[in-house]
Amino acid sequence: MNETTPSRIDRVMMIAGAIAVCAGFVLSLIGIPMAGGAKGLAQSYFFAFASVATLTIGFFGLTLLHHTTRARWGFPVLRIVEAGGGWRQILFVALAWIPVAFVWREALYPWSNPEVVASDPILQFKAPYLNDARWIGFSLFAFAFMAWMSYRNSLWQRKEDETGDKKWRDLRTNWSSPGLVAFFLIGNFLYTDWVMSQDPHWSSTMYGILFVVGGMLAALALTTLVFCSQTKKAPFARVTEPWLTNDLGNMLLTGTMIWAYFAFSQYLIIWSGHLPEYIPYWLRRSNNGWHWLGNTLIVTQFFIPFLLLLIPKVKRVPALLGTVAGWILLMRFLDFQYIVVPTYREQMAFQPLDLGLLMLLLGLWAINFGNSLGQSALIVDRLPKGHVQEPVTDHA
């Protein structure tokens, strides 16, 4: 324990981010000619933006969840989660959103195009909701809400670290529990605005929450990956214990199952109803090659991590758990591709620009993430007592 090297995860993240930015930039340059003009660029950019935004929003949701429940597994990884969903990241997402909102809005959203609306009675009916001012206003409100909440939480966390006063902790809990309720509502409407309304005739009540839960799963996977890669280094080595990796593994398992449950329910209900309003969504995603991706994802995104996480050993060995977490994260991005992209591409095809822009944005995100991690100690000072003493009761 004494000889552990200090973790430089913040540096690692920044370097990895810089590499990703460079690679993404090159890939994007190669990809632009194949993307099909300005519209193709907008679409690829939107895919990258939606993925990064969902990851960040997922992190933000995890911080609220932690402050609400104060679950034991949350404390050692709290700093990682806070760095991923902190106000810096949220501002980054808000910046990344600007091109979507002000450059490519008309290219991405049919309801934003007056000519389309003029010939579409349903869009006219929806105009009180689907209009430019409300759409922009709501996103700005959501960014402000999230940035404000996370800023306050980290402020109170710092004050607690300085003074040791319990009142800051209770304040966080008292704000985060109603905050969590607001978060789910806001998250739902954000995804209705951003993604669902690209196909403005289609709707599903499960859709927004599916995105939010998917984002939280991605965030948890990244958290676990970062944590598991650092378990041999200070200060993480001090808190690495079988119960912790076991809990993280079980949370990933739960997240995977909840995600699968939501996704399957939505599919089953729409598929069996086969109503003309709702079925086009799945028709697009089960033809022209997209079904290959969809069917693969059933196995790779659900069955593989699910079965692996059932094995107790996987949840005890950090290297194994980290690998599974990395796999889940990768699959989350493939799933974003499957959910977001078929709306504008009939035929499934690999677009280098999608990957390039995703790497570019993710790289920038990682630099920002590493920077946030470097701002404070890597684990919270005041771990709950009994954290180390509590005997492991491995029920799994």
Partner 1 sequence: MSHGRDTAPKPFGVVAEFLDAESLLEATRKTREAGYRAIDAFSPVPVHGLTDAIGFDDSRLSWQVFGAGLTGALAGLGLQVWTSTAVYRHLVGGKPFISLPMFFPVLYECTILFSAGAATVLMFKLNGLPKPHHPVFNAKAMDRASSDRYILCVEAEDPNYDEEALTSFFHGMGAESVESVRTSEGY
Partner 2 sequence: MAETPLNEKLVEGTWTERQVDERIADIILDPSRHTEAQIKVPKFLDKLLPAQAKSPWTMMVGIGFLLVNVLLVAITYLVLTGIGIWGNNQPTGWGFDIINFVWWIGIGHAGTLISAILLLLRQRWRNSINRFAEAMTIFAVMCAGMYPLLHTGRPWVAYWLMPYPNIMGLWPQFRSPLIWDVFAVSTYFTVSLLFWYVGMVPDFATLRDRAKPGFARIAFGLLSMGWRGSAKHWHRYEHASIILAGISTPLVLSVHSIVSFDFAMSIVPGWNATIFPPYFVAGAVFAGFAMVILLAIPVRKWYRLEELITMKHFDWMAKVMLATGLVVAYGYCMELFYMWYSGSPFETSLLRNRVGLASGPYSWSFWCLILFNIVAPFPLWFPKVRKNLTALFVISIAISIGMWFERFVIIPMSLTRDYLPSAFGYYTPTFWDFAMFFGTIGFFVFMMFLFVRFLPSINMFEIKELLHQEKHDSDHQPATAEAH
Q: Contact residues for partner 2 (CB under 8 A)?
A: 69-72, 75, 122, 125-126, 129, 166, 169, 178, 181, 184-185, 188, 192, 201, 203-209, 257, 261-262, 265-266, 268-270, 272-273, 275, 277-278, 382, 384-386, 389-390, 393, 395
Stretch that binds partner 1, among 3-11, 156-164, 263-271, 335-343 (CB under 8 A): 263-271
- Binding flag, residue 296, partner 1 (CB under 8 A): no
List 309's β-bridge partners, or say none.
none
Complex with partner 1: residue 2 or 272, whichever CB lies closer: 272
Minimal distance, residue 270 CB to partner 1, in Å: 10
- Binding flag, residue 268, partner 1 (CB under 8 A): yes
- Binding flag, residue 299, partner 1 (CB under 8 A): no
Task: Using alpha carbons, select from 77, 2, 70 the residue that is nearest to residue 249.
Answer: 77
Q: How far is CA 176 from the centre of its chain?
A: 19
Phi, psi of 6 (to 5 degrees): -70, 145
Q: Mask 356-395, x = binds partner 1 (CB under 8 A)?
A: -----------------------------------x-x--
Q: How many residues does the chain have?
A: 396
* DSSP 8-class letter at 386: T
Q: How far is CA 297 from the centre of its chain?
A: 17
Minimal distance, residue 313 CB to partner 2, in Å: 17
Minimal distance, residue 172 CB to partner 2, in Å: 11
Complex with partner 1: residue 2 or 393, whichever CB lies closer: 393
What number of CA atoms fall less than 13 Å from residue 249's CA on the CB side? 30
- Binding flag, residue 347, partner 1 (CB under 8 A): no
List 6's β-bridge partners, or say none.
234
C-beta of residue 281 within 8 angstroms of C-beta of residue 202: yes
What is the rounded CA–CA span in Å between residue 86 and residue 45?
23
245 contact partners, CB below 8 Å, separation of at least 6: 228, 231, 315, 316, 317, 318, 321
Complex with partner 2: residue 6 or 384, whichever CB lies closer: 384
Q: Which of 141, 148, 264, 303 binds partner 1 (CB under 8 A)?
A: 264
Complex with partner 1: residue 297 or 362, whichever CB lies closer: 297
Minimal distance, residue 149 CB to partner 2, in Å: 17
- Binding flag, residue 167, partner 1 (CB under 8 A): no
192 binds, among partner 1, partner 2, none (CB under 5 to 8 A by kind): partner 2
Complex with partner 2: residue 105 or 382, whichever CB lies closer: 382
Minimal distance, residue 2 CB to partner 2, in Å: 25
- Binding flag, residue 119, partner 1 (CB under 8 A): no
Complex with partner 1: residue 285 or 345, whichever CB lies closer: 285
Complex with partner 1: residue 151 or 267, whichever CB lies closer: 267
Q: Could you write out the DSSP letters of every residue in 49-93?
A: HHHHHHHHHHHHHHHHHHHHH--TTHHHHHHHHHHHSSHHHHHHH
Q: Could you write out the DSSP letters of every residue in 194-256?
A: HTGGGSTT---TTHHHHHHHHHHHHHHHHHHHHHHHTTTSBTHHHH--HHHHHHHHHHHHHHH
C-beta of residue 68 within 8 angstroms of C-beta of residue 173: yes
Q: Site residues (CB under 8 A) for partner 1?
A: 264, 267-268, 271-272, 274, 391, 393
